[in-house]
């Protein structure tokens, strides 16, 4: 037993001596080197290793080793969930059936001022890059890592954000953020190959949530300003674009002061990138925040009892009449138009009369 312990102690001492000698050799070598070379080795070595690792991970993502990328076929057949609309005999919207309250807007239904506000705020070089902005990414990397500036943003282009909205991020055991970022970059490049810049902007504005179960620019414009995307004023467009940074935090109904501050920042960005002149923005920033809020819900609007009765009838009809390819229609996702015989004007008068007389009836 004693010999065994003595042997271990001897090995330990020899190992310590070996480590100390090697460490002393490294120190002697370092002292003999110019300072610039030490800095180069200290910074360049890890940087080169990080670059090689990043390129290796990019290759794995590109080859589909970490999961297949969206195919061009998938990207050419993008369908958002659409609310089905109930239309009265006189053409008024009575209500909707939906899971996500969304009605897509076409490219020509979105005002230029909305596009200008979005690009100036979210991706100023959108019309110059092809899905990945290396300059913006490098700037964000420098500010966030070297300067610890958390307000520098994420460096994602609008095309990358669209890819993220269409294909939610996955969870990986390690390096989830890096892998998902690369997936979004490659998907964004494919989107750029398939769609025009204007089409990409419309796709983006149709996918984004604005809070309160309002999805897409068309529903948001109606919800907060009772208008359409093509008729939004500059200050209204700035409010909606500003909400994208935080739909609850900058909700103009719940947090008007924050929303107004954010609106004015968006307007300032539009001036910075030449989309508004200084004199115009001064007057716009001085405007009060005015909403024309239109609540939407299954229990809001006209003919709520009728709409609930209609729901089951429509479901029965859809069950008996599938799509041409044999798959069933989905009342809550397929954006159907349901035309009824109810006249919204007469219905409104009838409901007003009931509300007026009900207290006397119940007395």
Which sequence spans correspond to the domains of the chain?
A: 2-62, 81-99+302-345, 100-285
User: In which residue are the tokens 């100023």 written?
Assistant: 124
The whole-angstrom separation of Cα 61 and Cα 53 is 12
Which CA distances in Å does 145 have to 54, 155, 161? 16, 13, 21
Q: What is the pLDDT, as a whole number, of residue 232?
A: 97
Answer left, alpha or beta for residue 7, where phi above 0 means left and psi between -120 and 50 means alpha.
alpha
CATH number of 100-285: 1.10.3810.10
- Could you list the pLDDT tens digit for every one of the 363 residues in the chain? 557 677 777 777 777 777 777 777 766 666 666 766 656 556 566 666 777 777 888 888 888 888 899 999 999 999 899 999 999 999 999 999 999 999 999 999 999 999 999 999 999 999 999 888 877 766 655 554 444 444 445 578 999 999 999 998 888 877 788 888 889 999 999 999 999 999 999 999 999 999 999 999 999 999 999 999 999 999 999 999 999 999 999 999 999 999 999 999 999 999 999 999 888 899 999 999 999 999 887 778 888 899 999 999 999 999 999 999 989 999 999 999 999 999 999 999 998 898 888 887 776
CB within 8 Å of 279: residues ≥ 6 apart: none
Q: What is the pLDDT, as a whole number, of residue 33?
A: 65
Q: What is the pLDDT, as a whole number, of residue 51?
A: 72
Answer left, alpha or beta for residue 339, where phi above 0 means left and psi between -120 and 50 means alpha.
beta
Answer left, alpha or beta for residue 26, where phi above 0 means left and psi between -120 and 50 means alpha.
alpha
Phi/psi at 34 (5° precision): -65, 150
Q: What is the pLDDT, as a whole number, of residue 64?
A: 82
Answer left, alpha or beta for residue 67, where phi above 0 means left and psi between -120 and 50 means alpha.
left
CB within 8 Å of 100: residues ≥ 6 apart: 80, 81, 83, 213, 215
pTM of the complete model beyond 0.85: no
């Amino acid at each position: 037993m004693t010999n065994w312990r003595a042997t271990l102690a001897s090995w330990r001492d020899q190992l310590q001596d070996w480590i100390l000698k090697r460490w002393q050799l490294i120190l002697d070598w370092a002292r003999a080197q110019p300072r610039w070379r030490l800095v180069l080795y200290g910074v360049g070595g890890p940087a080169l290793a990080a670059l090689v690792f990043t390129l290796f991970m990019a290759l794995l993502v590109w080859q589909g080793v970490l999961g297949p990328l969206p195919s061009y076929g998938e990207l050419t057949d993008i369908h958002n969930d659409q609310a089905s609309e109930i239309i009265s005999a006189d053409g008024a919207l009575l209500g909707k059936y939906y899971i996500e309250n969304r009605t897509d807007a076409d490219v020509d239904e979105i005002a230029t001022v909305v596009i200008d506000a979005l690009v100036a705020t979210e991706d100023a070089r959108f019309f110059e890059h092809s899905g990945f902005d290396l300059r913006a990414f490098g700037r964000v990397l420098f500010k966030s890592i070297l300067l610890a500036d958390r307000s520098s943003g994420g460096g994602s282009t609008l095309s990358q954000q669209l890819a993220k909205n269409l294909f939610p991020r996955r969870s990986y055991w390690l390096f989830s953020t890096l892998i998902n970022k690369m997936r979004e970059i490659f998907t964004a490049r494919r989107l750029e190959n398939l769609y025009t810049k204007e089409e990409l902007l419309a796709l983006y504005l149709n996918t984004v949530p604005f809070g309160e179960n309002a999805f897409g620019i068309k529903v948001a414009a109606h919800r907060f300003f009772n208008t359409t995307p093509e008729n939004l004023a500059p200050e209204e467009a700035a409010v909606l674009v500003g909400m994208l940074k935080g739909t609850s935090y900058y909700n103009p109904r719940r947090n008007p002061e924050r929303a107004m501050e954010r609106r004015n920042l968006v307007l300032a960005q539009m001036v910075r990138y030449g989309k508004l002149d200084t004199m115009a923005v001064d007057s716009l920033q001085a405007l009060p925040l005015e909403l024309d809020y239109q609540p939407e819900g299954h229990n809001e609007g006209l003919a709520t009892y009728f709409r609930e009765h209609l729901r089951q009838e429509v479901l029965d009809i859809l069950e008996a009449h599938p799509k041409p390819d044999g798959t069933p229609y989905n009342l809550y996702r397929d954006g159907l138009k349901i035309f009824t015989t109810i006249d919204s004007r007469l219905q409104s008068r009838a409901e007003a009369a009931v509300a007026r007389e009900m207290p006397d009836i119940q007395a």
